[in-house]
Structures are given as structure tokens and as C-alpha cells.
Amino acid sequence: MQLVLPPGLSTRRFTRALAAFEGVVGREWVLATDEDRETYLDIYAPGDERAHAPAAAVCPSSTEEVQAIVRLANEYRVPLWPIARGKNFGYGGAAPAMPGTVVLDMTRMNRILEVDAKLGYCIIEPGVGFFDLHDHLARNGIPLWMGIPGNAWGSVIGNALERGFSSSPYGEHCSSLCGLEVVLPTGELVRTGTGAMSNSATWPLFKYGFGPSWDTLFVQSNFGIVTKAGMWLMPEPEATLSMNLRVPRPEDIAWLVDTLTPLRLQRVIEHNVGITSYMGSATLSSQRVEWHEGKGALPDSAVKAIMEKTGAGWWNLSLRLYGLPEVNEAHRALIEKAIAPHPDVRLAVTRWRRGEPHNAAAAPRPSVFPLQIVNWHGGRGGHIAFSPVLPADGARVLEQLARTRQRYAEFGIDYSGTFYICGRHVINVNLMLYNRDDADLTDRTRRLFRTLVTDAAAAGYCEYRTHLTYMDDVARTFDFNDHALLRLNETVKDVLDPNGILAPGKSGIWPRHLRGRRT
């Protein structure tokens, strides 16, 4: 893949910068061949993946090496795009927002530094993946459970910093972070919370420290590089109880949201509840051609066939109860009473107790099988998701569903939605699947995405996380007082990162000299 240089850099100066990086990490860990650059492209890009082409990658093995690289990047004016493991699939993978950026790949920083079974936390580096941490806990018989997202190939810290989530009591992964070590854009090292004390005894235990709390400054931002983090883990419960539900009609989503939200707020249900359409089953186990060969969105006949053959409802969800068996049974009774008025709900219950063999109600295990969805259309598959945040209100959720399905139909895209009840709000993940070699399909997908951003913003709904290509679009929807938040973000950016070397364009935040690149 042809080299795209960082803006304003000559080939000669860029070559010198790479040589300087080699002086820090060794020649082996500066990856700058055509093939190397290709490995950091977004394999699932909804369009030309070279729109986010990296110039090279540099792979440190320690915080000190990250600091040294950042200082050199300032000296040579080389933009850096930090990645933990680069598995941010559906959002850009390992690729940078701005072409010509050098990827700072922390895959080699994969140490599990501390795990405390008594107080339920770990301190880890960015390269630690969900499989790594799960493996460590299992191998050492440590009775702590992790929140694990659908695609578990990625980094525990990286996922949390992107506000990833899962359906477990510790499923708000960002909320489980406690204590960050951060390399600032100048190369200076800081620790947040009580980690700012050189002999802190509570860094991974107490989030706030004294005075302002800075942790969220480094979430979905380009203000620093997190090189270590404390992460709270869930003590293994005495027992669990799983309740799988399905309902037959699209409009049942309003009833589900209004029925389950009170139970979520009362903490009868302690996790985010994902309510997934029939497409969840279909995309995991089959391809589109098995149901429908025509263009345009799947017809109702195909939807009916999917539900009949896979046994899925129009909506499907799994509730889990964690704790003492007696408490779980009491909560199960409350849930069953709440859902009893619905004549068509189907319920299956599974129980697990500590020490019993693994089953569907036991501790979650990491998997990458959900990536199977990208094969829906065949060919070189890809996916992106538009995920607005709504009030947890059935009527508004139903409106959102109707509007979104209408848009999918207009653009001829198969609707695939999940509504996550997260307490007072609902995150509505709208998945778009495509064959990257089908130019018409990917074009329609891109146009659908931008239409959905506009529709949601008009309704007052923001997106919680987005693909590289749409970061400026989504940032623009935060328009109160003529985009005052973006001005604040970029004021902070210019102070912390005066040379603008860290992740230009991340979350729509551009350094002063590159703001003309905003799309």
C-alpha cells in the first residue's frame, strides 16, 4: 500500500522520524513496509479503506517507550494514533481518523500487573485482551468475573475507553475503570485519582482523589495515552439465574421497555438488557441468500421464515440474576409477575450455582463468534452501527423503531436492531451489514448512516460511539450555544497538545493547524 505521509512532512523528515522511533523501540518494532501499513487498515470499512490509511506503526513495550515516542513525535511533528489492540471493529479497527497518521500500537504492552481477589480489581496494560484476562483468572482460580463484549478479541482497557459495554452488572466498562496512568501529549506522565500520590494505597479502589477528577478527560478523546488502568471485577456470585424471553411482534418493544425499565431502576435487574431482533439469530447462523435473493430490504415473508426456522421472536432478550439463590428466586418471581400480562411472551429459565459445571447461566466467556455477522451478504463482509441514545420510554422507543425501519426500507438495507435498556436511557444499536465489493450496497449504507444521524439529532438523540468516518458528523450534532462543547474540547486540545500530534480528528476534535480537515 502506497505511503501517505503525515501532513506537512517531507519523505526525508518522515524517514528520520522513523529512525528516531527505531532508537526507542528497536528496528523490529517500527512497522513501515507497504504490507505493514495494510495490516492497520480498517478491514470492514464502508468504502475506500485508504481514506484512513496509516503512514506506519510503532510498537512500544513500556510506558517509558511511549513517553519517548511522544516526545519524538513532537520534535518531528508526526501525528500518532494510539491503539490498545486495534480490534475496534465496526468503528474503524486499528486505522486512524486522519490519513498519514502513525499508529502507536500498544499490543506488546500486555502485562497483567496485579489482580486482587479480595477487593475485586486488576491493574493492567492496554494490550491485555479479554481472552488474556479471562485466561489469567481461570488458570489461577481467581473467583472474579469480567464484563465481556460481543467481540471479545479486543483490549479490556481500549473497550472501556471507547465506552464499550456488555450485559453484566459490571457491564458499563468505563464505569469500572478506577485509576489511570496517562502519557500526556507532551510526554509527561500523570496518574489520576489517588494514583497522584506516589505511595498511594487506594489507586484502584477510590476514583476521585482530591479536587477535580480527570478520568473522563481521557475517554473517547485525544488528550492523552492511557498506559495502565485499574479495572473493577465482579466477585463470583453464589448463584445465577438466566431468563430468556422472546416476543412475536415489532411493537412489543414498547411493552418490553416500559415493563423492564422499572425493574432495572429498582435493581431487580442489575445489568443492561439487550433486546435483539430476529436478525441476531439469522446473522449468526446463516447468510442472506438462504432467506432472500432479491435486492432491497428483507421482505416480511423472509422475516417470518427466519423466525419460524430459528425459533427467534421478533425481539429476544436474556435477563440474568446474580447473588444468593433465595434472592434470585424472589427477583425471578417479580419479573414473571411483571411479564405475565403479555399473552405471547415465551420464557426459558436456567440456573447455575457456584461449583456446578458451566452452563448458559454461568460466567460469560470471551468469544469472537459474533463477528460471524459480517458474512451476511457473503464476499468481503463489513459492518458499522449507528447507535443513538434515547429516553427509556416505550412510546419514544417505538417511534425510533418505526422511523429507523422506514429509513432502512428506503435505502434497501436489512433492518437489524438492538435496544439496550441501560437504566434511564436506551442505547439503540442499528447494525448495517454489507459486502465491501458491492459498491451500490456500501454507498446506500453510507447514505443511510448520515440520514440516521440527522434524524436522531432532530429528535434530540446523540450517538454514544461512532465509526471514524462519521466522527465529525456526530460531533456536529452537539450544537448547543453554537457548538460550545466542541470549542471547549478544542481549547483544551490546544493547551494539552500544542503541536497537535495526538490522534487528530478523534471524536471530531482537531488541533488548531489541522481544523481545515474537518469533514
Binding site for other proteins (CB under 8 A): 28-29, 31, 35-36, 38-41, 43-44, 57, 59, 85-87, 89, 93-94, 105, 107-108, 110, 131-132, 134-135, 138-139, 153, 281, 284-285, 287, 310, 358, 365-369, 371-372, 374-375, 379-382
Of residues 315, 347, 349, the one with CA closest to residue 329: 349
Beta-carbon contacts of 12 under 8 Å, excluding residues fewer than 6 positions away, are none
What are the start-end ranges of the E strands in 269-416? Answer: 273-277, 315-323, 346-353, 381-386, 389-391
Confirm whether 408 is a catalytic residue: no
Of residues 48, 56, 67, the one with CA closest to residue 17: 56
Minimum gap (Å) between residue 344 Cβ and other proteins: 22
CA 267 to chain centre: 24
Of residues 104, 449, 421, the one with CA closest to residue 256: 421
Minimum gap (Å) between residue 8 Cβ and other proteins: 26
Confirm whether 465 is a catalytic residue: yes
494-to-162, 391, 499 alpha-carbon distances in Å: 22, 34, 8
Judged by CB, which is closer to other proteins: 93, or 508?
93
Judged by CB, which is closer to other proteins: 90, or 511?
90
Question: Cβ(165)–Cβ(173) under 8 Å?
Answer: yes
Minimum gap (Å) between residue 33 Cβ and other proteins: 9
Residue in 246, 332, 446, 465 annotated catalytic: 465
Residue in 44, 121, 420, 464 annotated catalytic: 464
Q: How far apart are CA 264 and CA 160, in angstroms?
A: 22
Report which residue type is found at 500: G
Minimum gap (Å) between residue 266 Cβ and other proteins: 31
Name the DSSP letter for residue 89.
T
Judged by CB, which is closer to other proteins: 131, or 214?
131
Residue in 40, 44, 76, 91 annotated catalytic: 91
Strand 417-421 versus strand 425-435 pairing type: antiparallel
Of residues 89, 200, 217, 193, the one with CA closest to residue 488: 217
Judged by CB, which is closer to other proteins: 348, or 402?
348
Q: What angle do CA 175, 496, 6 make, to 5 degrees?
A: 105
Beta-carbon contacts of 174 under 8 Å, excluding residues fewer than 6 positions away, are 160, 161, 163, 164, 165, 216, 219
DSSP letters, 254-304, are HHHHHHHHHHHHTTSS-S-EEEEETHHHHHHH--GGGT--SSSSPPHHHHH
Confirm whether 415 is a catalytic residue: no
- Residue 295: other Cβ atoms inside 10 A: 9
Minimum gap (Å) between residue 310 Cβ and other proteins: 7
Judged by CB, which is closer to other proteins: 375, or 416?
375
Minimum gap (Å) between residue 40 Cβ and other proteins: 6
Supply φ then ψ for residue 485, to 5 degrees. -65, -40
Question: Cβ(126)–Cβ(158) under 8 Å?
Answer: yes
Active-site residue set? 91, 464-465
